[in-house]
């Protein structure tokens, strides 16, 4: 009798759960995604684009059309994917549990980006700290022979540092306004951050056009342009993310309780700020020590 009494509730739970499953009732806090081709398209686009870039760098004819095709497929797949995520947020599928796991995913993504920049910093420090060990590569000195002039760290680079620091302040202001329900302040903060990001990119492009050393002729130029250029690419990506957040703001999206899309963009922007501070100190200031500035 005791066995029957203890078994009955469990059987009822299983029965209710089966009925809920058959009727389509959601009995959990997770969001089960339907089958979608967007992740596969994203993978194909990324593989095609990187393959095309390898072909392009080796000056093979296929690189001129393989890389653009891959980029087009990648952008299309990402647009489809992100549009569906926005739709899921509007439909209420992003429960607190789902948002927590989205935060974990964004943290891991930023951590992987940090390790990527660690690789560039490692290469730069290896070249600059041990020039005698790499005499055949850097001519036993740093900056190596052939780099007669370097960029003045306290000219345009310092201006760009101040611009990025200000943009970190404006995006924090926008986040504060969003949390407190100030939609007008949110829009102004996003507009200011986007304009500062565009200004940073424009100044860096001007700096590249007037740099006294080219890319690829020596290790200094390669390390400099790859580290700062990859950071510049991240600024462009972050600016695009903020533009999307601004458009969603005008569409009425984001609430004080649910705004992970904006939060992820803000985290990414702060990551870009911090990386630039390390680049400014290590590459522009310390890396140019003793060299002739222009």
Residue 23 lies in a domain: no
**Inter-CA distances, 88 with 32, 52, 162, Å:** 11, 34, 38
203 and 219 part of one domain: yes
61 and 194 part of one domain: no
169 and 99 part of one domain: yes
The Cα 164–Cα 168 span in angstroms is 6
Question: Which distant-in-sequence residues (6+ apart) come within 8 Å of 206 by Cβ?
Answer: 156
The CATH number of the domain holding residue 54 is 1.10.287.70
Residue 22 lies in a domain: no
The Cα 201–Cα 213 span in angstroms is 19
133 and 45 part of one domain: no
77 and 128 part of one domain: no
Q: How many domains does the chain have?
A: 2
Please report which helix (H) or strand (E) contains residue 156, including its range: helix 156-179
Residues spanned by the domain of 68: 35-93
104 and 79 part of one domain: no
51 and 129 part of one domain: no
DSSP class of residue 33 equals: P
Residue 28 lies in a domain: no
Tally of CA atoms within 13 A in the half-sphere of 78 that contains its CB:
12
Q: Is the dihedral of CA 174, 262, 95, 102 positive or negative?
A: negative
88 and 117 part of one domain: no
DSSP class of residue 61 equals: T
The Cα 183–Cα 181 span in angstroms is 6
Q: Are 94 and 260 in contact (CB under 8 A)?
A: yes
Domain stops at, among 93, 124, 141: 93
DSSP class of residue 144 equals: P
Residue 10 lies in a domain: no
The pTM of the full predicted model, rounded to 2 decimals, is 0.82
Q: Are 167 and 193 in contact (CB under 8 A)?
A: yes
Domain stops at, among 43, 69, 93: 93
Tens of each residue's pLDDT in the chain, 294 residues: 343 344 344 444 344 444 444 445 667 778 788 889 999 999 999 999 999 999 988 888 888 899 999 999 999 998 998 889 888 888 888 888 888 999 999 999 999 999 989 988 888 888 777 766 655 555 667 777 767 778 888 999 999 999 999 999 999 999 999 999 999 999 999 999 999 999 999 999 999 998 888 777 777 888 889 899 999 999 999 999 999 999 999 999 998 888 899 999 999 999 999 999 999 999 898 877 756 565
Question: Which distant-in-sequence residues (6+ apart) come within 8 Å of 223 by Cβ?
Answer: 120, 123, 124, 127, 283
């Amino acid at each position: 009798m005791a066995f029957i009494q203890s078994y009955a509730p469990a059987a009822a739970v299983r029965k209710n759960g089966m009925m809920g499953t058959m009727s389509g009732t959601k009995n959990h806090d997770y969001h089960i995604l339907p089958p979608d081709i967007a992740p596969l398209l994203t993978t194909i686009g990324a593989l095609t684009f990187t393959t095309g870039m390898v072909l392009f760098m080796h000056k093979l004819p296929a690189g001129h059309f393989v890389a653009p095709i891959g980029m087009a497929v990648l952008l299309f797949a990402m647009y489809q994917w992100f549009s569906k995520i926005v739709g899921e947020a509007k439909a209420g599928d992003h429960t607190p549990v789902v948002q927590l796991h989205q935060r974990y995913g964004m943290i891991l993504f930023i951590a992987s980006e940090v390790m990527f920049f660690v690789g560039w910093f490692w290469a730069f420090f290896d070249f600059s700290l041990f020039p005698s060990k790499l005499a055949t590569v850097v001519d036993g000195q740093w900056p190596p022979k052939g780099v007669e002039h370097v960029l003045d760290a306290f000219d345009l680079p310092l201006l760009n540092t101040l611009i990025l620091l200000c943009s970190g302040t404006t995006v924090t202001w926008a986040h504060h306004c969003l949390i407190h329900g100030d939609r007008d302040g949110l829009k102004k903060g996003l507009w200011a951050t986007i304009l500062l990001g565009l200004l940073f990119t424009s100044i860096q492009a001007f700096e590249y056009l007037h740099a006294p050393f080219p890319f690829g002729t020596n290790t200094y130029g390669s390390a400099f342009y790859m580290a700062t250029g990859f950071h510049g690419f991240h600024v462009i990506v972050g600016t695009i993310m903020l533009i999307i957040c601004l458009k969603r703001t005008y569409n009425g999206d984001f609430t004080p309780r649910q705004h992970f899309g904006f939060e992820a963009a803000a985290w990414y922007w702060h990551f870009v700020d911090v990386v630039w501070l390390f680049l400014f100190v290590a590459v522009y200031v310390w890396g140019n020590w003793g060299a002739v500035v222009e």
